[in-house]
Structure 1
């Protein structure tokens, strides 16, 4: 467990003992399925969810949405020239997403 995870666990335990986690929305219910979280650690997923609720998204999540949109666009194209251009844009977006994800991983080490 990383130092950041241990710190987060201590803060959660402290808040729980002080009763700050009672009567919250969704208390006692399972967390909703979030298919995008499969490749993200639970701690990162919780952080991303909090950021999304406040209207702030990390670059890698924004890029992930752009990649999904580009894939959907590519699936509907039939013209070979347009498909090549769309594939090049998809590759560019995937590369930027990978760079953003790797930057976060290196930052957290």
Structure 2
């Protein structure tokens, strides 16, 4: 899938979910950004809209789960927290690999 097609798909998905309704600066040209590439510009726009890529959401979830695990004292709770952490880390690794593959083929 080409970058243009992926971007268009994400825009249409966000429109359908209402994520692009009532954005600050709607109908105005995008502001100029210093020295950034298309990826950083896209990330900036997403950040301003309050939308996070799945990879960032997973990184935050992994960090939160590590804190939860560190606070566990009961062995059964530790085991459950470790299982959840392993699951989140696996999902994060999958997202990261998908991103790397996408940028290699585009």
* TM-score grouping bracket, smaller chain normalisation: 0.5 to 0.7
Task: Give unmatched runs, 5+ long, in structure 1.
Answer: 5-19, 28-41
Structure 2, unmatched stretches of 5+, are 4-30
Partner of 1:86: 81
Provide the residue aligned with 2:8 in structure 1.
none
Gap change, CA 1:80 and 1:55, over 3 Å in 2? same
Partner of 2:55: 60
Task: Say which structure, 1 or 2, has more relative contact order (CA 8 Å, 6+ apart).
Answer: 2
- Give the Å deviation of 1:45: 5.2
Q: How many corresponding residue pairs?
A: 73
Structure 1 residue 51: Cα displacement: 1.3
1:17-56 Cα shifts (integer Å, max 9, x gaps): xxx63xx8xx8xxxxxxxxxxxxxx855554343121121
C-alpha separation between the residues in 2 aligned to 1:68 and 1:53? 23
After the TM superposition, which parts of structure 1 deviate over 2 Å for at least 4 consecutive aligned residues? Answer: 42-50
5 Å matches for 1:9-20?
none
Write the deviation string for residues 50-101 of structure 1: whole angstroms up to 9, x where unpaired.
3121121111111111101101111111001100110010000000001001
